[in-house]
Structure 1
Amino acid sequence: MDDPVLYTNGRLFTSDPERPWAEALVVDGDRLAYVGDDASARAHAGPGAAEFDLGGRVVLPGFVDGHAHVLKTGEAQLGVQLTDAADLAEIRRRVRAWADGRPDAPRVLGRGWLYDALPGGEPARWMLDEAVPDRPVYLEANDSHSMWLNSAALAEAGVTRDTPDPVGGRVARDPETGEPTGHLIETAADALVLPLLHKATTDDDRDRALAAAVRGYLSSGVTGAVDMGLDEPALAALVRAERSGRLPLRVAGHWLVQRGGDPDGHLAQVRRAAELAATHRSGRLRVTGVKFIVDGVIDGCTAAMRDPYADGGNADPIWDADVLAPAVAAADAAGLQVALHAIGDAAVRIALDAIEHAGRVNGPRPRRHRIEHLEYAAQEDIERLARLGVTASMQPVHADPAIRANWNAMLGDARAENGFAWPAMTAAGARLAFGTDAPTAPHPPLPNMFVASTRRSALVPGLPAMEPHLAVPVAEAIVHGTADSAWACRAEHDQGRLRAGLLADFIVLDRDPFGDPDALLGSDVLLTVVGGRRHVDRLAQPRPARAAGPNRNAVKEGP
């Protein structure tokens, strides 16, 4: 076994309430053997330890992205990037450039477009036909809740005026001709396009995408992620990486239960998740629960609201209460964690009703159910969430002022001033876990912490803050992105804090964000350690191991 490794002279924020700050740590194997002061760390490490002088730099627990889509994050890095495309002309330019640079690619794939970049806020096939008329183009919206196709893609997918709308989704159609416009909303994209794209994607494609995602996560300081949408292809890619030793990232997955018209089919999906949870239980890959997408998104006016949107319209939930409740109860009975995507206040209420129903049906048992996003929730439901012990899983980067204009306009009233109310969750007594929902937002955690602690934009830093009274202190934001996210996926005994006995998952920054949150945007991750193994490594080499002797703790300062 290797000798312990000693890291000294640091400014360690531990995310551990028993000892929030420390100077040094000792790594023994894949775990932390000591966290505390320099002198005691040297004594604990012993004479054979290599020593790294941190030079006063900040050390944090590795971030646990509380809500992510790992494989899709890698796939997104390989397609057309559109989140910062300001208008249709720029979208067309990027789509055409991507296609021209890959003449042999059978399709143009991309993601990230925003509604307010489009004329009238509505995507249409002809807009893309002008850029690429001869190949199918599939562009996922920034929120991942709809897809924009050109005419060639509609033809390839077989979407016509006679294609019925699937349960929980809609094919947008021209009001005069009934022909599809190229906008597939909610489950329409899942049902009509994703099976085709899955078949067209090879295992090698997925392996490359997963490798890109893992590199991106580790380089930005993420050592664990909760994958909120596992399906068979994504799980297979993760299993291949795990078995070949190419999965240094720790992944806890939630199996996506697709909404269909058959309640027995929902229960079959829950049973499949339970089988996978019993099979995949390693330190790198766990299947821990299921996910239900109860509603859509505010940007597309598909989130279910108690009061109408600014234009007077509203949206029905994807999962109505009567269909959702028995499926959630079945997952709860199987010991699975239940995660419910609920963005609008009506959907949040349906989600809480389903969790409460499961408690009545199945009786007392250990539970860590979660609601994802909670972008707008009624105060009484926030209090109820805390009372039921449900985790509020939220994504600060979705509140970035640079992408809030359409969100605010759709709500159109005082509701927009109370969105993304993170302090309300903790004030009510709920556990709050932070994630990014990558690739719907950038995956690096430090910009996520910046938005959380300033309510300013990480994408356009010069924009003024929105609802600054809803910001949280830097230290609290980091706890929500480390310790609380680990707790929320049942990993608190291994991840999320710097404490002796826990896994040696930590990062070193080149700037200190605690005095100035702006440092979160300019800071680089110099070192990422997962299970004691150094991955991203830009630190100086260690000092040689110290010889044993009566004065072995009197270490000479060296380079």
Structure 2
Amino acid sequence: MSADLLLVGTTVRTLDPARPTAHAVAVRDDRIIGLDDDALALRGTGTEVIDLGGAVTTPGLVDGHAHPLLGATSFVGLDLSSCRDLTDLRAVLAGAEPGVDGWVTGFGLDHNVFGGAPITNAVLDEVLPRLPVLVVLYDGHSALASSEALRRAGVSGPRRFEQRAEIVCDDAGRPTGLLLEHAAMGVVRDVVPPMPVAELRERLHAVLDGMAATGLTGATMMDAEGDALAALASAEEHGDLAVRLRVMPWCMPEDDLAAIDALQGRRGRRWAVGGVKFFIDGTVEGGTAWLEHADCHGQGVEAFWRDPAAYTRAVRHFAAARVQTATHAIGDAGVRHVVDSFAGVGTGGVRHRVEHLETLPLDDVRRLVDTGLVASMQPSHTGYTRADLTDEWATRLGADRAARAWVCRDVRDAGGVLVLGSDWPIAGYDAREVLGYARLRRRPGSTDAPVLPAQALTGAMALEGMTSHAAIADGASAEAGRVAVGCRADLTVFTVDPVDAPADEVAEAPIGLTVSGGRVTHRGEVTCPV
């Protein structure tokens, strides 16, 4: 039996305690079949041999929390992420070119643009009068709709939703344009002309190709709403997905649990449904994170589920069925409720997850770890706050809670499993940048002051968060997260050592090669076939 692919001229950080390093890897089909001399002996006439010229190979990187399809469909139009104030916003809006039926869409708008003032559609109506405009704020949990967009959606006042969502209105009951949480946003989003199927396929493939170029071999896709599974199947009809996707459809308060049960196990060649995504709260900036004590505006003291006990029953339903759950929980009260919901609950060996954990005291970190829950965090989200606490996120929380921000190191020091990801499109999907943020607690390549540097991870911990710990969380450590014979052939080749090289360099160094399930999904300039 000869290898399909043979990598030589490399130092391999295997993350396998039984064999920490190697210098050659042989792959056949989707499996690693040999290391070092055993690998070299498997070279055959049809083997593709790649000399990596001294580059460092690791287990394939996995983004623990991403929204590739949602990002491709909803974060479209004007890129507003560079706007720092209303003057910037007006300038970008002024360059808009209306699309189908006159719609203008945008994404990435920072709450801080409004300088602490109420967020309203006044600037949209000023710059783009009589046009339907829908802008998604960077957190993905809030949007801003122009008066014409609200009119087309039939929105003239407040509404009640099963989930904790709000069409924000002024004292006279008139909508301000601000839409909080998914149900409220969906009222307007549903009247925006849909993206053509061909364009969606192209955008999805482009996103996944881009992810592979940063070293990603897999990702946990934290949504599957509407026709999402059909869209994935359609995309696969036009080519393999560059990144393998584990899909976790949402479970909302109004959803039928049996319908979500029925989705489990649906799959394509490179994607499979395996788990359920919950929300117990929203975001700090939107005032919808569930906090032990109200934020500076008196908000944030309610759960996303109007009846939190119903959430508990729902996650225990899936736990009993040995279906993994992942719960979006940003505020300290939200995380605590998730931990309480799983305390003493038999899970059949499944590691249930808590996503984001933006502010959490050490005692609750220890409780989470003791309960066996996995912490899934996004280090690059620290880029949306400032070390001097002058941003909207920190201002809402106050200094004490802001001092417990994204406590990655506390989770690891407590012995917890910590999965790292990007939450794209909320932050960039570049895996190298995620690794850099995890070690620096600031944007790589910047001179920004780090946010709580004591929570920084070591290079080894950061790498584990996107490899071995991701595999533990998925219940796949027997076949993933390591470079070992019999494991799935997921490999990432760095042109610098991702553990020992300075984090700023890791974040910018080209990826030499990405192999996902034995298939080369990205080839960098440093690779040299022999």
How does the TM-score come out when normalised to structure 2?
0.92
Separation (CA, whole Å) in 1 of partners of 2:340 and 2:406: 21
Amino acid at match of 1:129: D
SS of equivalent residue, structure 1 residue 450: helix
How does the TM-score come out when normalised to structure 1?
0.88
Q: 1:297 to 1:402 in 2, by over 3 A?
A: closer
Q: 1:507 to 1:241 in 2, by over 3 A?
A: same
Amino acid at match of 1:89: T
Checking the alignment, whether the CA contact within 8 Å between 2:116 and 2:392 is kept in structure 1 is: no
Separation (CA, whole Å) in 1 of partners of 2:199 and 2:154: 24
* 1:405-484 → structure 2 map (5 Å cutoff): 405-458=391-444, 461-484=446-469
Which of residues 354, 371, 376 in structure 1 aligns to 2:354? 371
Checking the alignment, whether the CA contact within 8 Å between 1:168 and 1:317 is kept in structure 2 is: yes
- 2:8 aligns with 8
Separation (CA, whole Å) in 1 of partners of 2:202 and 2:336: 40
Which of residues 145, 149, 155 in structure 1 aligns to 2:151? 155
- 1:536 aligns with 522
Separation (CA, whole Å) in 2 of partners of 1:447 and 1:162: 41
Q: 1:48 to 1:144 in 2, by over 3 A?
A: closer
Amino acid at match of 1:371: V
Q: 1:156 to 1:495 in 2, by over 3 A?
A: farther
Deviations 1:162-191 (A, max 9, x none): 54465401111122x321000011244344
Task: Pick which of 133-142 and 18-27 moved more.
Answer: 18-27
Q: 1:337 to 1:396 in 2, by over 3 A?
A: same
Shift, 1:76, TM fit: 5.6
Q: 1:106 to 1:492 in 2, by over 3 A?
A: farther
Q: 1:412 to 1:18 in 2, by over 3 A?
A: same
Q: 1:283 to 1:20 in 2, by over 3 A?
A: farther
Shift, 1:108, TM fit: 1.7
Amino acid at match of 1:365: G
- 1:263 aligns with none
SS of equivalent residue, structure 2 residue 69: helix
Which of residues 178, 195, 204 in structure 1 aligns to 2:198? 204
Which of residues 53, 56, 61 in structure 2 aligns to 1:55? 53
Checking the alignment, whether the CA contact within 8 Å between 1:109 and 1:138 is kept in structure 2 is: yes
- 1:548 aligns with none
- 1:272 aligns with 259
Q: 1:34 to 1:413 in 2, by over 3 A?
A: same
Checking the alignment, whether the CA contact within 8 Å between 1:299 and 1:410 is kept in structure 2 is: yes
SS of equivalent residue, structure 1 residue 535: strand
Separation (CA, whole Å) in 2 of partners of 1:379 and 1:540: 44
SS of equivalent residue, structure 1 residue 330: helix
Deviations 1:388-428 (A, max 9, x none): 21110111011126667222111112221221111211222
Shift, 1:491, TM fit: 3.1
Structure 1 residue 343 corresponds to structure 2 residue 343: no
Separation (CA, whole Å) in 2 of partners of 1:42 and 1:315: 61
Deviations 1:177-235 (A, max 9, x none): 321000011244344234334x7334334323312221221122111110112113222
- 2:363 aligns with 380
Shift, 1:5, TM fit: 2.3
Task: Pick which of 282-291 and 343-352 moved more.
Answer: 282-291
Checking the alignment, whether the CA contact within 8 Å between 1:527 and 1:536 is kept in structure 2 is: yes
Structure 1 residue 189 corresponds to structure 2 residue 172: no
Checking the alignment, whether the CA contact within 8 Å between 2:75 and 2:107 is kept in structure 1 is: no
Q: 1:491 to 1:245 in 2, by over 3 A?
A: farther
- 2:474 aligns with 489
Shift, 1:28, TM fit: 1.8
Amino acid at match of 1:492: S
Checking the alignment, whether the CA contact within 8 Å between 1:304 and 1:346 is kept in structure 2 is: yes
Checking the alignment, whether the CA contact within 8 Å between 1:168 and 1:187 is kept in structure 2 is: no
User: Which structure 1 segments of 5+ residues have no match?
Assistant: 261-265, 545-559
Separation (CA, whole Å) in 2 of partners of 1:249 and 1:334: 28
Separation (CA, whole Å) in 2 of partners of 1:122 and 1:491: 46
Q: 1:3 to 1:431 in 2, by over 3 A?
A: closer
Higher helix share: 1
Which of residues 116, 120, 133 in structure 1 aligns to 2:112? 116
Separation (CA, whole Å) in 2 of partners of 1:50 and 1:494: 23
Checking the alignment, whether the CA contact within 8 Å between 2:218 and 2:516 is kept in structure 1 is: no
Compare CA radii of gyration and give the structure with the larger one.
1
* 1:156-305 → structure 2 map (5 Å cutoff): 156-161=152-157, 163-164=159-160, 167-175=163-171, 177-197=172-192, 200-260=194-254, 266=255, 268=256, 270-280=257-267, 284-305=270-291
Task: Pick which of 226-235 and 375-384 moved more.
Answer: 375-384
Shift, 1:345, TM fit: 0.7
Structure 1 residue 316 corresponds to structure 2 residue 302: yes
Task: Pick which of 343-352 and 80-89 moved more.
Answer: 80-89
SS of equivalent residue, structure 2 residue 422: coil
Separation (CA, whole Å) in 2 of partners of 1:541 and 1:10: 11
Structure 1 residue 93 corresponds to structure 2 residue 91: yes
Deviations 1:134-174 (A, max 9, x none): 43111111111111111111112111125446540111112
Checking the alignment, whether the CA contact within 8 Å between 1:12 and 1:59 is kept in structure 2 is: yes
Shift, 1:69, TM fit: 0.6
Which of residues 395, 398, 413 in structure 1 aligns to 2:378? 395
Q: 1:74 to 1:2 in 2, by over 3 A?
A: farther
Shift, 1:291, TM fit: 1.3
Q: 1:218 to 1:494 in 2, by over 3 A?
A: same
Separation (CA, whole Å) in 2 of partners of 1:153 and 1:223: 39
Shift, 1:44, TM fit: 4.1
User: Which structure 2 segments of 5+ residues have no match?
Assistant: none
Checking the alignment, whether the CA contact within 8 Å between 1:87 and 1:118 is kept in structure 2 is: yes
Deviations 1:101-135 (A, max 9, x none): x5557422221111111143432112112222243
SS of equivalent residue, structure 1 residue 247: coil
Which of residues 63, 67, 77 in structure 2 aligns to 1:79? 77
Separation (CA, whole Å) in 2 of partners of 1:516 and 1:108: 42
Amino acid at match of 1:529: V
SS of equivalent residue, structure 2 residue 143: strand
Q: 1:118 to 1:247 in 2, by over 3 A?
A: same
Separation (CA, whole Å) in 2 of partners of 1:377 and 1:497: 31
Separation (CA, whole Å) in 1 of partners of 2:62 and 2:28: 22
Q: 1:131 to 1:62 in 2, by over 3 A?
A: farther
Checking the alignment, whether the CA contact within 8 Å between 1:290 and 1:337 is kept in structure 2 is: yes
Deviations 1:48-67 (A, max 9, x none): 64432211112222211101
Checking the alignment, whether the CA contact within 8 Å between 2:161 and 2:183 is kept in structure 1 is: yes
